[in-house]
Amino acid sequence: MANVTVIGAQWGDEGKGKLVDWLSNRADVVVRFQGGHNAGHTLVVGNQTYKLSLLPSGVVQGKLSIIGNGVVVDPWHLLKEIGQIREQGVDITPDMLVLADNACLILPIHRDLDQAREAAATNKIGTTGRGIGPAYEDKVGRRAIRVADLADREALEAKIDRLLAHHTPLRRGLGLPEVDPAGLLAELEAMAGKILPYARPAWLLLDEQVKAGKRVLFEGAQGALLDVDHGTYPYVTSSNTVAGQAAAGSGLGPKGPGYVLGIVKAYTTRVGEGPFPTELFDDVGKHLGTVGREFGTVTGRERRCGWFDAALVRQSVALNGIAGIALTKLDVLDGLPTLKICTGYRLNGQEIGYLPAGLKAQGQLEPVYEEMEGWSQTTQGARSWKDLPASAVKYVRRIEELIGAPVALLSTSPQRDDTILMRDPFQD
Ligand code: IMP
Residues of the chain with CATH 1.10.300.10: 104-195
Q: Which one-letter amino acid corresponds to residue 327?
A: L
CATH of 4-100+199-248, one of 3.30.420.40, 3.40.440.10, 3.40.50.2000, 1.10.260.40: 3.40.440.10
Q: How confident is the model at residue 44 (pLDDT cuts 50, 70, 90)?
A: confident
Neighbours of 116 (CB within 10 A): 18
Average pLDDT, the chain: 95
Q: What is the mean pLDDT of residues 307-320?
A: 98
Residues of the chain with CATH 3.40.440.10: 4-100+199-248
Cβ contacts of residue 171 below 8 Å, gap of 6+? 109, 112, 113, 177, 178, 179
DSSP 415: B
Residue 420 CA, ligand 1 centroid: distance in Å? 29
CATH topology of domain 104-195: Adenylosuccinate Synthetase, subunit A; domain 2 (1.10.300)
30 lines ligand 1 (CB under 6 A): no
Q: Model confidence over 372-412: pLDDT tens digits?
A: 999 999 999 999 999 999 999 999 999 999 999 999 999 99
12 lines ligand 1 (CB under 6 A): yes
15 lines ligand 1 (CB under 6 A): no
Question: Where in the sequence numbering do the catalytic residues fall?
Answer: 13, 41
Q: Pairing mode, if any, of strands 308-309 and 338-347?
A: parallel
In this structure, which residue's CA is closest to atom 5 in ligand 1? 127
pLDDT value of position 1: 54
pLDDT value of position 415: 86
CA distance 208 to 218: 16
pLDDT value of position 45: 81
> What's the full length of the chain, in residues?
428
Q: Model confidence over 192-214: pLDDT tens digits?
A: 999 999 999 999 999 999 999 99
Q: What is the mean pLDDT of residues 179-200?
A: 98
Per the CB < 8 A criterion, the answer to whether 6 and 16 are in contact is yes
Residue 40 CA, ligand 1 centroid: distance in Å? 10
Residues of the chain with CATH 3.90.170.10: 265-427
Q: How confident is the model at residue 41 (pLDDT cuts 50, 70, 90)?
A: confident
Bond prior to 234 in cis (omega within 30° of 0): yes
5, pLDDT greater than 80: yes
52 lines ligand 1 (CB under 6 A): no
Class of domain 265-427: alpha beta
Cβ contacts of residue 180 below 8 Å, gap of 6+? none
Q: Model confidence over 55-82: pLDDT tens digits?
A: 999 999 999 999 999 999 999 999 999 9
Residue 37 CA, ligand 1 centroid: distance in Å? 10
Per the CB < 8 A criterion, the answer to whether 182 and 48 are in contact is no
Q: What is the mean pLDDT of residues 254-269?
A: 96
